[in-house]
Amino acid sequence: MTKYISSTINHFILSIGLLIMVVPIWIIFASSTHSSLFINTNGLQFFLGDNFIDNYSRVLFKQSGFFNEITALKMFFNSFVMATGIATLSVITSLMAAYGLVYFKVKYATFIFWLIFITLLVPLELRIMPSYIVMSKLNLVNTFAGLILPISASAIATFFFRQFYKSIPDELLEAAKLDGTNSLRFFIDFLIPLSKTMIAAVFIFMFVFGYNQYLWPLIMTTSEQYWTVVMGLKTMYGSISDRFAFVIMSMIPPVIIIIFLQKLFIQGIFQNK
């Protein structure tokens, strides 16, 4: 009996948690299926309306922005290119750098180690203005390279991969050496397959991180052609139900990734704990 009561309390508390996390999004979603006129007279809605297809297709394909040069579809494309670029570049450079640090004798190793890890102390937000100046000197404003490179300049993934490599038993390398494996082969044939889960977790993390960037695209894109979804939200013009629909669409890609790959993601967190 007491067991039954305590489990009821557990479910009750969890349900309140669910209400807090889910209801705000549901209200925005429900409101996004009504016409703007209806929202303007009746406020936010709990129940679905019947303008779903109208609103969403209008937002997706309509030219918007100040100069009417971009559609939401193009913004999604830009966000995908940016997020994939950031995730791919971070994974590749970090995997390689961590390998160089762990499996080789490096001259000035301590110096290089600090050169890489001190960067964890300086998030992009702290160097935003000088970064912009550097990018304009390199003629990278309004390019995908400009959106991707400064955000990939992060050592957080190197730190994770380094921890992971250090946990791999030395016997593996000894055995490989006996077989006469060279360093490149060892990296490609042994370490990368072993790090698959880690790679996936880091990729997911960096993809969501890249997709969710707001300040950097805001500064780096003076041409509407390069607007991304998250920054477009603030600058997009349109009726209130259009904006609701855009808010809902903007969160779909990262949310789907996290929901479907949560096991992988959590495993990745665990491996380096």
Partner 1 sequence: MKKVQFKSNYSQYFFLAPQLLILLIFLYWPIIQTFKDAFTMQDAFGFGSQFAGFDNFLFIFSDPSYFTAFKFTIIYSFVITLITGSIGLLLAVQANKVMHGKSAYKTLLIWPYAIAPAVVGVMANYFFSERYGLLHHLFNNLWGFNWYENVFDAYIYVIIAGSWKQISANFIFFLAGLQAIQKTVIEASIIDCKSNIRRFWTITFPLLMPTTFFLIIINITYAFFDTFGIIDTTTIGAPGSETKTLVYKAYIDGFKGLDLGSAGAQSIMMMIIVLVITIFQFRYIEGKIHYN
Residue selected from 231, 241, 242, 245 as contacting partner 1 according to rule CB under 8 A: 231
The site string for partner 1 over 20-59 (x = CB under 8 A, - otherwise) reads: xxx-xx-xx--x-------xx--xx---------------
Structure token digits, residue 109: 């190793």
User: Taking CB under 8 A as the criterion, which residues in 194-223 touch partner 1?
Assistant: 208, 211-215, 219
User: Is the CB of 50 or the CB of 273 nearer to partner 1?
Assistant: 273
Residue 196 CB, nearest approach to partner 1 (Å): 19
User: Is the CB of 37 or the CB of 96 nearer to partner 1?
Assistant: 96
Beta bridge partners of 70: 64
Q: Please measure the distance between the N-terminal and C-terminal CA atoms of the chain and give it in whole angstroms.
A: 39
Closest CA to 212 of 82, 27, 120, 91: 82
Residue selected from 30, 58, 88, 100 as contacting partner 1 according to rule CB under 8 A: 100
Phi, psi of 44 (to 5 degrees): -65, 150
What is the DSSP-derived secondary structure letter of residue 179? T
Residue 119 CB, nearest approach to partner 1 (Å): 5
The dihedral over CA atoms of 184, 190, 191, 197, expressed in degrees to the nearest 10, equals 140
Give the angle 91-92-97 at the CA atoms, nearest 5°.
Answer: 100
Q: What DSSP assignment string belongs to 213-230?
A: --HHHHHH--SGGG--HH
**CB-CB neighbours of 159 under 10 Å:** 16
Contact between residue 107 and residue 88 where contact means Cβ atoms under 8 Å apart: no
Residue 68 CB, nearest approach to partner 1 (Å): 21
Residue selected from 48, 60, 81, 116 as contacting partner 1 according to rule CB under 8 A: 116
Burial of 160 (0-12, 13-18, 19+ CB in 10 A): buried
Q: Is residue 73 close enough to count as binding partner 1 by CB under 8 A?
A: no
Residue selected from 7, 63, 139, 222 as contacting partner 1 according to rule CB under 8 A: 7
Residue 197 CB, nearest approach to partner 1 (Å): 15
Beta bridge partners of 93: none
Residue 78 CB, nearest approach to partner 1 (Å): 14
User: Taking CB under 8 A as the criterion, which residues in 119-178 touch partner 1?
Assistant: 119-123, 125-134, 138, 149-150, 152-153, 155, 158, 162, 166, 170, 173-174, 177
Q: How many chain residues touch partner 1 (CB under 8 A)?
A: 97
Residue selected from 72, 76, 91, 99 as contacting partner 1 according to rule CB under 8 A: 99
> Which stretch in 58-66, 70-78, 195-203, 245-253 sits in contact with partner 1 by CB under 8 A?
245-253
Please name the residue that has the structure tokens 């977790």. Answer: 201
Closest CA to 46 of 31, 66, 56: 31
